[in-house]
Amino acid sequence: MNEEKYLLFDQYLQGELSDEARLNFENQLSENLKLASDFETFKEVQIQLETKFDFAADRDAFTANLKAISKEHFKADKSKVISLKPWAYLVAASVVLLLGLFLFNPSSKPGFEEYNQYENAYLTERGEGIDTLKQVETAFNAKDFKAAIPLFEAILKTNKTAEIQYFYGVSLLENNQINQAEAVFNEIKSGNSIYKNKAIWSLALAQLKQKDYKGCKEILLTIPSDYEHYDKVQELLDKLD
């Protein structure tokens, strides 16, 4: 994340944006999954900062330290650093503190982005409606999940296979339509297709995305050991303990 993005996040949280700027930012969050993910991470960092530091009592001393940190890690020129408001150093230093609080903190919880790696969809080798299948395959593999969703919905009207349902569910989950995604995965889970365990894994990821770590763990424990990616299941369980 660049500095301007951090400042925008902070201004939004502090209620400093105009109504027009606030609405524009919220629209961006709903349309840009990467931006939304970065914003969630930023908020988590701020919570960690508030927990670990008493800003009311130690703000002056802490800000002085952050000036040195931001200068060292962002290589900012002196004139630019001086022009920043005191609280801006807190924003800039979030990158440094993020490393310490999340990447190197043994008690930190895993994130959805660590595990949402999916296989590519190869749908055009079989079935009818090749043109639409090719379009949705291309969109999904390019991670354009918003474009893929209506294409999947059109296909599912006449070709409701567990395979297509699964990739549709993934698209919904990645597009933050979590309830709809869970409904799709639960339907696959109730069947006996080869996508059953993948659907259960995806249900666990849906809980992880919502930071429901207990719910995520409970679902993971129901995945059988013969699941092809059971190593990931074990890895995630270990991180959740």
Q: What is the pLDDT of residues 40-68, one digit of tens each?
A: 887 777 666 555 544 444 445 555 555 55
- In angstroms, what is the C-alpha Rg of the chain? 22
Residue-wise over 192-203: b if at least 16 C-beta within 10 A, else e?
Answer: eeebbbbbbbbb
Range 109-120 average pLDDT: 91
pLDDT above 70 covers a percentage of the chain that reads 70
Mean residue pLDDT across the chain: 80
Q: Provide the terminal-to-terminal Cα distance of the chain, rounded to the nearest Å.
A: 29
pLDDT surpassing 80 at residue 74: no
* Vertex 164: Cα angle to 160 and 170 (nearest 5): 130
pLDDT surpassing 80 at residue 122: yes
pLDDT score for 39: 83
Range 142-155 average pLDDT: 95
pLDDT surpassing 70 at residue 142: yes
Give every CB contact of residue 91 below 8 A, 6+ residues apart in sequence.
3, 6, 7, 9, 10
Domain 113-240 = CATH 3.30.9.10: no
Question: Which has more pLDDT, 61 or 192?
Answer: 192
pLDDT surpassing 50 at residue 17: yes
Measured CA to CA, the distance from residue 184 to residue 201 in angstroms comes to 13
Measured CA to CA, the distance from residue 137 to residue 134 in angstroms comes to 5
Range 158-171 average pLDDT: 95
pLDDT score for 98: 53
Instruction: Please give the single-letter amino acid code of residue 37.
Output: S
pLDDT surpassing 80 at residue 140: yes
Which tokens belong to 37?
């993910």
pLDDT score for 96: 53
Measured CA to CA, the distance from residue 88 to residue 74 in angstroms comes to 13
Poorest-pLDDT segment among 27-41, 45-59, 109-123:
45-59
pLDDT score for 30: 86
Q: Where are the domains of the chain?
A: 3-108, 113-240
Give the C-alpha distances (Å, rounded to integers) separating 193 from 56, 204, 215. Answer: 57, 18, 24
